[in-house]
Amino acid sequence: MLLTIRTTHAPATDLGYLLGKNPARSQRFDLGFGTAHVFYPEATEEACTAALLLDVDPVGLVRGRGNGDGGTLDQYVNDRPYAASSFLSVALSRVLRSAMSGVSRDRPELAATAIPLEARITVVPVRGGAEVLRRLFEPLGYVVDAEAHPLDPAHPEWGDSRYLTVTLRAETRLAALLTHLYVLIPVLDGAKHYFVGDEEVEKLLRHGEGWLAAHPERTMIASRYLKRRRSLVDQALARLVEPEPDAADEGAAPDEPTLAAVRDAEEGALEARISLHQQRLETVMQALRESGAARVLDLGCGEGKLLRMLLAEPRFTEIVGMDVSHRVLEVAADRLKLDRQPPRVRDRVRLIHGALTYRDGRLAGYDAAAVVEVIEHLDAPRLAAFERVLWEYARPETIVLTTPNAEYNVRWPTLPAGRFRHRDHRFEWTRAEFAEWAEGVCARFGYIVRLLPVGPVDEEVGAPTQMAVFTRTDSAMVDVSLESGDG
């Protein structure tokens, strides 16, 4: 089967940088179940087309399985070499992995930019035909074209086959297009060539971040993606938190762990002179101690500095670090040296992979949550989903949250005016904006909040970091003096 991706964004040959595949060279990848070839039938300044030809070997797939008896002929003779299926998704994730996660070494800005793109798949079986195809791709902003093929041109009365040649056009980021194809191709035919387990739920939520929750066909997508395994489908749907109706989902970009590492280093350098980071973590620790919490979440834990501080104090009996990035969790596990800790230390801490914009049963029932320098990494339209995940569903008694104070940015000598402190920040708030947001959260979910500066306080612009300590109003930890403090 064949997938082509075409752009007319000038210079069109930049597509080669985005895909990480040189237009002048054709390449071949052995994938075990077959071979993928990447080549460019067209590569000019005006238009460039990359082709991924996937040659699945159905005989090779069966060989060595040891089920010689009872096998049927269709193991050997089937549509796999010709039709797009979950094999194509696997090929995309292996051959175009970094392009799919939005990473481009040579053209990072272009990778984050919507450009005119056209994808064509020849051919794909679609259960439900062109109508289902449209229902899946049109809500994501694609202009969809489906070409039907008669079962036999000599017998038009037999009707069309279930195979379509599909063309999708949109002005979008290449990573978004590849991710949509990755998730939705197996959904089109509703079949997967491999066993579907819990891992697939995580995969669906990870690749669906920013678009699946608001998709009108999310139920069909989850159901077909997870091969109709009821418990998995329920789990996935429960964790998809719908954004508020007025919160448009446009422009949501998935997190990019590799770039994030570079960006973290930049932010680190910027703040180094006063070791703001350390000061911030100590302030958060103090707030957690004062809350009386024993079971604590560190949401968006990153490389685990706060986890290490929590682990050093026996009063914190259960510590859970969660992050959306597998890579930073690996670093955290490494830094905590968990494999070298005695069991009584090791057993107090757990690292889990998850996204804060999805409802997650694993977060319920804790005393406190720390969310340190994380919300500014969330797309503003996803904030409403995050609020519900933490304040409505997880609902710890105490939430300690920090974020940069945008007003302070004029005091950073190396930061150009109008720039954020970190390239991955989606917004930075002034003290008034933070206060307004925090008070809105309290009103919506039944919490009270204290706002505190972190770091040296400048008379005019305040402190570099702002911290909010939320306390659930129905919790024993709220004392009356606090409640009436400002009012």
If binding is defined by CB under 6 A, does position 465 make contact with ligand SAH?
A: no
Closest contact distance (angstroms) between CB of 273 and ligand SAH is 17
Binder to ligand SAH among 233, 307, 374, 468 (CB under 6 A)?
Answer: 374
If binding is defined by CB under 6 A, does position 363 make contact with ligand SAH?
A: no
Name the packing angle between helices 218-225 and 198-208 (round to 10°): 140
The alpha carbon torsion through 136, 140, 144, 146 (nearest 10 deg) reads -20
Residues 415-444 that bind ligand SAH (CB under 6 A): none
Query: Which residue's CB atom is positioned nearest to ligand SAH?
Result: 302
If binding is defined by CB under 6 A, does position 384 make contact with ligand SAH?
A: no
Residue holding tokens 């606090």? 482
If binding is defined by CB under 6 A, does position 378 make contact with ligand SAH?
A: yes
If binding is defined by CB under 6 A, does position 323 make contact with ligand SAH?
A: yes
Which string of DSSP letters, residue by residue, matches 132-175? Answer: HHHHHHGGGT-EEEEEEEES-TT-GGG-EEEEEEEEEEEEE-HH
Binder to ligand SAH among 217, 373, 397, 407 (CB under 6 A)?
Answer: 373
Give the three-class secondary structure for 69. Answer: coil
Residue number, 254 or 462, with CB nearest to ligand SAH: 254
If binding is defined by CB under 6 A, does position 379 make contact with ligand SAH?
A: no
Residue 143: CB atoms within 10 Å: 12
Provide the residue type at 468 as one letter: A
If binding is defined by CB under 6 A, does position 357 make contact with ligand SAH?
A: yes
Binder to ligand SAH among 328, 368, 449, 468 (CB under 6 A)?
Answer: 328
Is the dihedral angle over the CA atoms 363, 365, 369, 375 positive or is it negative?
positive
- Buried residues in 180-204 as b, exposed as e (16+ CB within 10 A): bbbbbbbbbbbebeeebeeebbbbb
Residue span binding ligand SAH (CB under 6 A) among the ranges 58-66, 88-96, 370-378, 404-412: 370-378
Question: Are the C-beta atoms of residues 307 and 298 closer than 8 Å to each other?
Answer: yes
If binding is defined by CB under 6 A, does position 310 make contact with ligand SAH?
A: no
Residue number, 12 or 356, with CB nearest to ligand SAH: 356
Distances (CA, A) of 411 to 38, 190, 273, 457, 458: 49, 55, 12, 11, 9
If binding is defined by CB under 6 A, does position 240 make contact with ligand SAH?
A: no
If binding is defined by CB under 6 A, does position 329 make contact with ligand SAH?
A: no
Closest contact distance (angstroms) between CB of 319 and ligand SAH is 13
Q: Which two tokens stand for residue 234?
A: 């329920």
Closest contact distance (angstroms) between CB of 463 and ligand SAH is 16
**Which residues have C-beta within 8 Å of that of residue 438, sequence separation ≥ 6?**
449, 451, 468, 470
Binder to ligand SAH among 89, 179, 283, 325 (CB under 6 A)?
Answer: 325
Number of residues that bind ligand SAH (CB under 6 A): 18
Residue number, 170 or 401, with CB nearest to ligand SAH: 401
Residue span binding ligand SAH (CB under 6 A) among the ranges 60-68, 164-172, 319-327, 411-419: 319-327
**Which residues have C-beta within 8 Å of that of residue 241, sequence separation ≥ 6?**
213, 357, 358, 359, 385, 388, 389, 393
Binder to ligand SAH among 5, 111, 355, 389 (CB under 6 A)?
Answer: 355
Question: Are the C-beta atoms of residues 38 and 50 closer than 8 Å to each other?
Answer: yes
If binding is defined by CB under 6 A, does position 464 make contact with ligand SAH?
A: no
Q: Which two tokens stand for residue 389?
A: 């995940």
Question: Are the C-beta atoms of residues 104 and 20 closer than 8 Å to each other?
Answer: yes
Question: CB-hemisphere CA count at 13 Å for 123?
Answer: 16
Binder to ligand SAH among 204, 356, 368, 441 (CB under 6 A)?
Answer: 356
Q: Which two tokens stand for residue 167?
A: 């063309």
Binding mask 252-281 for ligand SAH (x = CB under 6 A): ---x----x---------------------
Q: Which two tokens stand for residue 298?
A: 């560190």
Residue number, 34 or 300, with CB nearest to ligand SAH: 300
Closest contact distance (angstroms) between CB of 363 and ligand SAH is 11
If binding is defined by CB under 6 A, does position 307 make contact with ligand SAH?
A: no
Q: Where do contacts with ligand SAH occur on this chain (CB under 6 A)?
A: 255, 260, 300-302, 305, 323-325, 328, 355-357, 372-374, 377-378
